[in-house]
Amino acid sequence: MDNTSGNRLGRFNALGSKLLRDQFGDRADVAAHLQETLKRGQSAEIVALSLFSPGAPLLDQIQASPMEIGQQYRDWVAALHLAAARSDARDFVAVTSAMIDRPSHGIWSFQDVTNRAVVERLRRDPEAVRLVKDRLAGSPSASEIASLPRYLYRQSR
């Protein structure tokens, strides 16, 4: 499989994860299947389980932090979904800022899927909203100046 096919598959996995959560959120058998596949270390399953069952104890067994997943493995979709589901507000905002300021942006970064994770977390976490506003009032990067207000706007709608 070439890189283009792999990137398309990643997008389908991320969108499928959201569909699983929205349509089958009450199904224990789906959560059990996701937990079994996560044991094999697939990032698509990290996203799926983070969306479907954010309190799953198996997510605690992931040895890399969301920041490490984003920076070392450049898997910002998995990093942001995991941070949105499991990290405290300060770490979540740090991962969000690191994703915004990452050195490379490609057409296959699934930014729309990642943005949904950020907005959903901001909608349910006033502390994260406050920290984003503090970041903007401090010394944000040009990319943060462009992105963070859009997240704040979207979370308020």
Query: pLDDT digit string (tens) for 47-67?
Result: 777 777 777 787 887 778 899
Q: Are 70 and 98 in contact (CB under 8 A)?
A: yes
CA distances from 132 to 20, 32, 57, 85, 139 (A): 29, 35, 28, 17, 12
List the one residue out of 141, 136, 122 whose CA is nearest residue 83: 122
pLDDT at residue 156 tops 70: yes
pLDDT tens, residue by residue, 13-24: 555 566 566 766
Average pLDDT over all residues of the chain: 80
Could you tell me what percent of the chain has a pLDDT over 90?
39
Cα 41 from Cα 59, distance rounded (Å):
11
List the one residue out of 101, 120, 154 whose CA is nearest residue 47: 120
Tokens describing residue 97:
């800022």
Indicate the length of the chain as a whole number: 157
Helix or strand or coil: residue 144?
helix
Instruction: Calculate the dihedral angle through the C-alpha atoms of 89, 113, 73, 59, rounding to the nearest 10 degrees.
Output: 60
Cα 129 from Cα 96, distance rounded (Å):
12
Cα 107 from Cα 21, distance rounded (Å):
25
CB-facing half-sphere around the CA of 33: CA atoms within 13 A: 11
